[in-house]
Amino acid sequence: MDRISWDQYFMAQSHLLALRSTCTRLTVGATIVRDKRIIAGGYNGSITGGTHCIDEGCYVIDNHCVRTIHAEINAILQCAKFGVPTEDAEIYITHFPCLQCCKSIIQSGIKAVYYAEDYKNHPYAIELFKKAGVEVEKVALKEMIIDNRQKEKQQFVEKLLCALGDGGVDKERVVDLQEQANNLFNKHV
């Protein structure tokens, strides 16, 4: 049996953390690692005790949700809160970090950034990482341990079923297919 690689293991952890995100615009997870050990994790969400995007919608200013703290910052703050040094650590993130997170990563002493998906990769962030000597590498999640697109797939199947119903497919057949989809997605109506 082949074991999952370290990169895939830590990236899977970041995708798992992203499932805790409360922002409806983008779910992001981040895992900070030192010496092949997880030292912190974070996801994008509101301040402790604050209103969440999933409850009242995103609070968008200049095309950014200002209600949330980004996953990378939450992970770095977790280290600060518990006195865990980030010097020479690595961070695994589901998406390329924004410019502000890039600067925080550099300032925290993290030496390598591994991200799974491109997301508005800012040229200045790339330049700053290079100047600071921070290694940056795209590491897509290859192991399908976690289905990070389940909600999207479920919505797609529901649209297909509606189209089938609107297209004249036998109503009983559509109901049967809907029941199968509900079972597949573990959704009980």
Q: Which residue has the higher pLDDT, 151 or 48?
A: 48
Q: Is the pLDDT of residue 146 over 70?
A: no
Number of Cα atoms under 13 Å in the Cβ half of residue 5: 9
Pick the catalytic residue: 72, 117, 152, 158?
72
**pLDDT tens readout for residues 103-114:** 999 999 999 999
**pLDDT tens readout for residues 153-186:** 888 888 888 888 888 888 888 888 888 887 777 6
Give SS3 for 117: strand
Q: Report the predicted TM-score, pTM, of the whole model to 2 decimal places.
A: 0.77
**pLDDT tens readout for residues 7-58:** 999 999 999 999 999 998 999 999 999 999 999 999 999 999 999 999 999 9
**pLDDT tens readout for residues 126-141:** 999 999 999 999 999 8
Mean pLDDT for 94-105 is 97
In DSSP terms, 29 is beta-bridged to: 43
Looking at residue 189, its pLDDT comes to: 37
Strands 112-117 and 135-138, bridge-based pairing: parallel
Looking at residue 168, its pLDDT comes to: 86
Q: Is 143 a residue of the active site? A: no
Q: Which residues contact 90 (CB under 8 A, 6 or more apart)?
A: 10, 32, 33, 34, 110, 111, 112, 113, 114
